[in-house]
Amino acid sequence: MVLKQYIGILAVVMFAAGCEQPLSEKPAAADKTATITPFIDVPQTEMIASPDGRIEFTVLVEDGHLKYGVTMDQESVIAASNLGMRFLKRAAIEDDIIITGLEKSSADTTWEQPWGERKTVRDHHNQLVLSAYSEQAKLEFDIHVKVFNDGLGFRYEVPAQADLDDTAIIDELTDFNVGESTASWWIPSRMYNRYEYLYRQTPVADIQLVHTPVTLINEGGIHISLHEAALVNYSSMSLKQTREGVLEAELAPRSDGTKVRVSGGFKTPWRTIQISDDAVGLLNSNLILNLNEPNKLGDVSWIETGKYAGIWWDMHVRNKTWGQFENGAPTPHGATTEHAKTYIDFASENDFIGVLIEGWNIGWDNDWFSNGDVFSFTEAYGDFDIAEVSRYAAEKGTRIIGHHETSGNISNYENQLEAALDLYQEMGVGSIKTGYVADDGDIKWVDEAGVARFEYHDSQRQIEHHLNVVKRAAKHQITINTHEPVKDTGLRRTYPNWITREGARGQEFNAWGVPPNGPDHVPNLIFTRMLSGPMDYTAGAFNLRPSELPPISDTMTRHDVRSRIEHTLAKELALYVVLYSPIQMVVDSPEVYDQRLGAFQFIKDVPTDWDQTIALDGAVGEYAVFARKDRQTDDWFVGGVTDQEGRDYTLDLSFLDSGEYEAQIYRDGEEAHYDTAPYDILIESVNVSDEKSLHIKLAPGGGFAIRLKKL
């Protein structure tokens, strides 16, 4: 369909102050300021709206430049912003652009997740495919847009054409003009510790270079999350501030200095903008998943969800070690046959799906962080009999969860990958936790000439590596839980064995981090990192002071130097509900749980796979409340967490199905406080229905967890 050329009067809605030419073909509302362009040719423009009509995406060519903007209810979300990209060996898609055609369509379907926050997902959107030609670059390209009621995604699609055999992209010009006074929640990008930073809340004007998702609230109160979906054969997008309030796509560079290398036609990931009136609207969005392709693996009934124990926390709190020796002296090695059997007994007694065993393979002695060349993924230490441990686990009705730490040496891992997968498949291992501990920019691989190259954790080379591991693992019916990963962009829909990942500051920092994760960290994660997908936070610590460090000088207080968990016990239980992952770790040791069996009952009861999920309430960085319905029963589970502020909360139970439930409540006690009385917990039971409500007190740094058992 050839794009209409509009001549005459065009009424358009202003995006924001300072926008020279507003972008909308709809007449302005009576109470809005409109600009009238009389009797002249108007720049080529087209608009596509969400099914409910509230969100509008407008794209146009103005003075040869391709631009877009987004409104909700005619209020600016993204003011006029640039589109385009630059190449190494050809002119840029930047100037002299002509829109040559467009197609519009709509879709309203539902699809089913093999596992997930909800069993069925509705995909309801309107679509625009806008074709264009860059006279400068001599390239045809499309802008593909899908607009949902909860936001939108757009991407560039360059079809196969002449001179595209080897294309190097050096910059993407996509802007997000959000306004400098907009509030933002973010972590820095291109820093040594990857995504593992505490979130900062600042005006957008204070941003320099940040990872996505980045969460925003503009001056009109509109909640926004900027991210990307379906990151395949491309480089990850961070956002840098160029002009005040304008965030531009900044692609992770490859080791050769380019950003992306492709051959032939290509598609970028979707650039996503989730939009909501309030904070919980972001949490209830399915936009990222809907922008990914359907399952490519076929039958995935072999994928197992559930809770797992592990030989892991012992090492972080320094009771055990990953290696056998340090500087030639023996250490208390954790991954022994005997110790593994103790954890297998614990997992079996509590119906956990497996036991993670870290440190079983050769390579951990001395400075493993800097010595990824020496890891073997098939050879065990002499005190660990993998065949015997696997046999014992199977006898007990559980199994090993494998572990592959690469220390960022992906060539060493790739060279051994098939043999390592064969071994695990033979041993009945159904899931692997992979690790890439290395400073960002130090992911090592060796090219065909034998030259060592170094990449960022989220460069195109590393993105290709992760997907290769996931695909090859699927052939062995093994799931992957990636630590030190590339961020989640919804590929779990396409490759359901990519079951979870880390990609944020998790529980481990509470064992040795200075500072540890503060009481506001989880409420920040929920509205930022968790918008991208599941996280293996490793919840359920019952010893809340595992390795607290004392003051080290007269001028330093216990809040300057400390390693501890700044939650109440009830909040640790709530993590199993508010932080979604289809596999959840039960992080502490069996003897610690034995001391608090009443609270441990909730961990035993809570599932990890859900029929429905509803974010009920919350505010970014402050508090959040979720309700989730078990996929296997009629039971519901509710979790709530707060930051350092205590709250009196009324839980409306109208989300329940009809009938009566037993509410098994785990909540903060009257004296509970994350700093002074973290273990004060009340466990009580009361019968309720969908017509009732519960009044719950959340302590500072506290939370609550409820099982609603259908009677």
**Which among 83, 237, 260, 92 has a CA at the least distance from the CA of 174?**
83
- In angstroms, rounded to a whole number, what is the distance separating the alpha carbons of residues 539 and 565? 11
Helices (H) and strands (E) in the chain, counts: 12, 44
Mean residue pLDDT of the chain comes to 92
- In angstroms, rounded to a whole number, what is the distance separating the alpha carbons of residues 385 and 92? 58
Residue range(s) occupied by CATH 3.20.20.70 in the chain: 506-533+546-579+592-711
Higher pLDDT, 166 or 40: 166
At 253, the amino acid letter reads P
Q: How would DSSP label each residue in 379-415?
A: PBPTT--HHHHHHHHHHTT--EEEEEE-TTBHHHHHH
Question: CATH second-level architecture of 506-533+546-579+592-711?
Answer: Alpha-Beta Barrel (3.20)
Supply φ then ψ for residue 265, to 5 degrees.
-65, 155
Given a cut of 90, whether residue 20 has pLDDT beyond it is: no
Radius of gyration of the chain (CA): 26
Given a cut of 70, whether residue 10 has pLDDT beyond it is: no
What pLDDT is stored for residue 366 in this prediction?
86
Which segment of 158-172, 279-293, 340-354 scores lowest on mean pLDDT? 158-172
Answer whether 56's CB lies under 8 Å from 24's CB: yes
Catalytic annotation present for 508: yes
Residue range(s) occupied by CATH 2.70.98.10 in the chain: 7-290
What pLDDT is stored for residue 595 in this prediction?
96
Given a cut of 50, whether residue 320 has pLDDT beyond it is: yes
Given a cut of 70, whether residue 37 has pLDDT beyond it is: no
The pLDDT tens digits of the residues spanning 330-381 come to 999 999 999 999 999 999 999 999 999 999 999 999 888 888 899 999 999 9
The pLDDT tens digits of the residues spanning 66-106 come to 999 999 999 999 999 999 999 999 999 999 999 998 999 99
- CA dist 710 → 18, 88, 660, 664 (Å): 56, 62, 6, 11
For residue 76, give both structure tokens. Answer: 């600016």
What pLDDT is stored for residue 548 in this prediction?
66
What pLDDT is stored for residue 641 in this prediction?
98
For residue 685, give both structure tokens. Answer: 């039971």
What pLDDT is stored for residue 26 in this prediction?
31
pLDDT band of residue 514 (cuts 50, 70, 90) is confident
What pLDDT is stored for residue 191 in this prediction?
96
The pLDDT tens digits of the residues spanning 476-486 come to 999 999 999 99
What pLDDT is stored for residue 35 in this prediction?
31
The pLDDT tens digits of the residues spanning 231-260 come to 999 999 999 999 999 999 999 999 999 999
- Is the CATH number of domain 7-290 2.70.98.10? yes
* 113-116 contacts, C-beta under 8 A, 24 or more apart: 113/289, 113/493, 113/496, 114/295, 114/300, 114/301, 114/303, 114/496, 115/303, 115/305, 115/496, 115/499, 115/582, 115/609, 116/289, 116/492, 116/582, 116/609, 116/610
**Cβ partners under 8 Å of residue 711, min gap 6:** 659, 660, 661, 662, 687
pLDDT band of residue 563 (cuts 50, 70, 90) is confident
Given a cut of 70, whether residue 15 has pLDDT beyond it is: no
The pLDDT tens digits of the residues spanning 44-56 come to 889 999 999 999 9
Residue in the structure block whose two tokens are 């009861």: 605
- In angstroms, rounded to a whole number, what is the distance separating the alpha carbons of residues 174 and 630? 41
Given a cut of 50, whether residue 18 has pLDDT beyond it is: no
- In angstroms, rounded to a whole number, what is the distance separating the alpha carbons of residues 634 and 48? 40
- In angstroms, rounded to a whole number, what is the distance separating the alpha carbons of residues 251 and 258? 9
Given a cut of 50, whether residue 276 has pLDDT beyond it is: yes
Given a cut of 60, whether residue 632 has pLDDT beyond it is: yes
What pLDDT is stored for residue 549 in this prediction?
56
Answer whether 359's CB lies under 8 Å from 383's CB: no
Neighbours of 161 (CB within 10 A): 12
- In angstroms, rounded to a whole number, what is the distance separating the alpha carbons of residues 249 and 254? 15
What pLDDT is stored for residue 22 in this prediction?
33
What pLDDT is stored for residue 552 in this prediction?
45
For residue 17, give both structure tokens. Answer: 């102050």
**What is the reported pTM?**
0.92
Strands 237-241 and 223-229: unpaired
- In angstroms, rounded to a whole number, what is the distance separating the alpha carbons of residues 118 and 111? 11
The pLDDT tens digits of the residues spanning 125-151 come to 999 999 999 999 999 999 999 999 999
Residue of 46, 56, 117, 508 marked active site: 508
pLDDT band of residue 554 (cuts 50, 70, 90) is low
| For residues 27-55, average pLDDT | 58
**Which among 242, 70, 250, 251 has a CA at the least distance from the CA of 153?**
70
The pLDDT tens digits of the residues spanning 387-435 come to 999 999 999 999 999 999 999 999 999 999 999 999 999 999 999 999 9
